C-alpha cells in the first residue's frame, strides 16, 4: 500500500508538471494580448507596455516559462487579472459549488442505478423496473442543456416550485441552498444515472451465470439475498471505475449546467478566465483540475482494494 501511494505521488508531480507546461504554452498561443484586453482599444502604448511588464509578459517565452515555474514551485500562482486577487483563494472559492453539485449528483445517481438495476434483477417481470431500465438509453441520448431548459420552463417559470437560478453556499445556509440545487442536480442525475444503470446492468448480467450463485441458491437463500448479498458486491467494480472517472470529469467544471443555472463554479470561472485572457487564472484552474483528477483516480484505486479482496492481497 505504501508503495502504491509513493508511486502515485511521483505520477502526480509528473502529471502536474506536464499539464502546467502545456497550459502555459497553449495559453500563450491564444490570439489577443491580455494587457490590451484589460486596458481596451484606446489605451496608450506605454500603458500597455507597463502592464505587460507587471504581468511578467516581457522577455523571451523561455524566460517567462522559467520564472512562472519558479513561482509555482514556491506556491505562487500569480494574481488573477479580473479578480485582482491571488489565484488560489479565487479557485478555492469557486470549487465549493462544483464539488457540491458533483458529490450530490454522483451519490444520487449511484443510489438510483443500484435500486433500479437490482429491482429489475429481482423482479424481472415488474413493468416499472423494466421501463426504467429501458429509459436509460434515452437518458443518455438527451442533451443536458435541453433537459435544463425544459426543467426551468416547467418547474421554475410555470409552476414556480424552484428558483431558476442562483446559488447559496450549502455550508453557510443548507436550508436556503437546497431549493437552488434541485434542478441542476436533476439535470446531472438523468444523464449520469442512465450511464450507471447501463454499466451496472452489464456487470450484473455478467455475474448471473457464475457458479457461486448456484451455491448461494442451494443454501436456500431467497433471490433478494442472492442479489444483494452475492451479486451486488461482485458487480460493483466496473461501476466504481465509471463513477470515479465521471466524478473526476465533473471536477473540471460542469460548464453548461453552471452557466444555465448561474452557479459560480469552476466551469464558469474557467470560461470567464479564457474570455478575459486571464492567463494566471486559466493556468491555476487547469492545474487544480488535473490535481483533482489524479486524486479521484487514486481514491478509486484504493476503493478497489476495499471491494476486491484479490487486489488487497497482491
Partner 1 sequence: MSLLNLTDVTIGVTQDTAGHEERLDLVHGLTLDVVAGQTLCVVGESGSGKTVTALSVVRLLEFVAPVYTEGEIAVGGVDVTRLGAEQMRAYRGARIGMIFQEALDSLNPAQRVGAQLLEAYRPDGVPARGGLKARRAAEAKAKALLAEVGLTDTARIMALYPHQMSGGMQQRVMIAMALMSDPDILIADEPTTALDVTTQAEILALFQRVQREHRTACVFITHDMGVAAEIADRIAVMYRGRLVEIGDKLDILTAPRHPYTRALLECVPRLGVSRREGFPTISEARLRAVTEGTAGRDEPVTETLRLPDAPAPVGDTPPLGIDRVTKVYGRRSRLARRSPVRAVNEVSLEIAPGEFFGLVGESGSGKTTLGRMVAALETPTSGRIAFGEHQITPAGLSGDERAFRRQAQLVFQDPQSSLDPRHTVARIIAEPLRELTPLRGGELDRRVAELIDEVGLPAGCADRLPAQLSGGQRQRVSIARAVAARPRLIVADEPTSALDVSVQGQVMNLLLQLRRSHGISFLFITHNLSLVLSVADRVGVMYGGELIETGTPHEIATSSAHDYTRRLLAANPDLSAYIGRHGHPSR
**CA neighbours closer than 13 Å in the CB half-sphere of residue 237:** 15
Would you count residue 3 as binding partner 1 (CB under 8 A)? yes
Would you count residue 214 as binding partner 1 (CB under 8 A)? yes
Q: Are 16 and 3 in contact (CB under 8 A)?
A: no
Between 28 and 312, whose beta carbon lies closer to partner 1?
312
> Exposure string (b/e) for 70-94, b if CB count within 10 Å is 16 or more?
eebeeeebbbbbbbeeebeebbeeb
Instruction: Pick the piece of the chain touching partner 1 (CB under 8 A) from 40-48, 124-132, 272-280, 306-314.
Output: 306-314
Would you count residue 310 as binding partner 1 (CB under 8 A)? yes
Count of chain residues binding partner 1 (CB under 8 A):
26
Q: Under rule CB under 8 A, which residues in 260-299 are in contact with partner 1? A: none
Q: Which of 115, 221, 255, 305 is the binder for partner 1 (CB under 8 A)?
A: 221
Q: Under rule CB under 8 A, which residues in 180-209 are in contact with partner 1? A: 208-209
Residues linked to residue 90 through DSSP beta bridges, in sequence order: none
Would you count residue 75 as binding partner 1 (CB under 8 A)? no
| DSSP secondary structure code for residue 44 in this structure | -
Q: Are 228 and 291 in contact (CB under 8 A)?
A: no
Could you tell me the smallest distance in angstroms from the CB atom of residue 244 to partner 1? Answer: 19
Q: Which of 25, 145, 212, 275 is the binder for partner 1 (CB under 8 A)?
A: 212
Q: Which of 215, 262, 275, 299 is the binder for partner 1 (CB under 8 A)?
A: 215
**CA neighbours closer than 13 Å in the CB half-sphere of residue 76:** 8
Q: Using CB under 8 A as the criterion, which residues of the chain lie in contact with partner 1 when the complex forms?
A: 3, 208-222, 225, 229-230, 233-234, 307-310, 313
Amino acid at each position: 500500500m505504501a508503495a502504491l501511494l509513493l508511486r502515485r505521488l511521483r505520477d502526480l508531480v509528473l502529471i502536474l508538471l506536464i499539464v502546467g507546461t502545456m497550459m502555459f504554452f497553449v495559453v500563450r498561443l491564444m490570439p489577443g494580448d491580455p494587457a490590451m484586453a484589460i486596458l481596451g482599444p484606446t489605451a496608450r502604448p506605454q500603458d500597455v507596455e507597463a502592464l505587460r511588464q507587471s504581468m511578467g509578459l516581457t522577455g523571451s517565452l523561455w524566460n517567462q516559462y522559467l520564472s512562472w515555474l519558479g513561482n509555482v514551485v514556491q506556491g505562487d500562482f500569480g494574481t488573477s487579472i479580473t479578480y485582482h486577487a491571488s489565484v488560489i483563494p479565487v479557485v478555492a472559492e469557486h470549487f465549493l459549488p462544483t464539488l457540491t453539485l458533483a458529490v450530490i449528483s454522483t451519490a444520487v445517481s449511484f443510489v438510483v442505478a443500484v435500486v433500479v438495476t437490482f429491482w429489475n434483477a429481482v423482479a424481472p417481470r415488474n413493468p416499472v423496473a423494466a421501463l426504467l431500465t429501458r429509459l436509460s438509453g434515452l437518458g443518455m441520448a438527451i442533451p443536458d442543456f435541453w433537459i435544463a431548459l425544459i426543467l426551468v420552463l416547467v418547474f421554475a417559470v410555470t409552476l414556480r416550485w424552484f428558483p431558476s437560478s442562483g446559488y447559496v453556499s450549502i455550508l453557510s445556509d443548507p436550508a436556503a441552498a437546497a431549493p437552488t440545487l434541485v434542478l441542476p442536480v436533476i439535470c446531472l442525475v438523468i444523464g449520469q444515472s442512465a450511464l450507471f444503470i447501463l454499466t451496472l446492468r452489464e456487470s450484473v448480467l455478467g455475474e448471473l451465470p457464475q457458479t457461486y450463485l448456484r451455491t448461494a441458491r442451494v443454501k436456500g437463500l431467497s433471490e433478494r439475498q442472492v442479489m444483494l448479498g452475492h451479486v451486488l458486491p461482485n458487480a460493483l467494480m466496473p461501476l466504481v471505475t465509471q463513477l470515479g472517472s465521471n466524478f473526476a470529469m465533473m471536477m473540471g467544471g460542469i460548464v453548461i449546467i453552471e452557466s444555465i443555472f448561474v452557479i459560480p463554479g469552476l466551469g464558469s470561472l474557467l470560461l470567464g478566465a479564457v474570455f478575459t485572457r486571464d492567463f494566471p487564472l486559466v493556468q491555476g484552474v487547469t492545474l487544480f483540475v488535473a490535481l483533482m483528477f489524479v486524486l479521484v483516480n487514486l481514491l478509486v484505486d484504493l476503493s478497489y482494494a476495499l471491494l476486491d479482496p484479490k487486489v488487497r492481497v497482491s
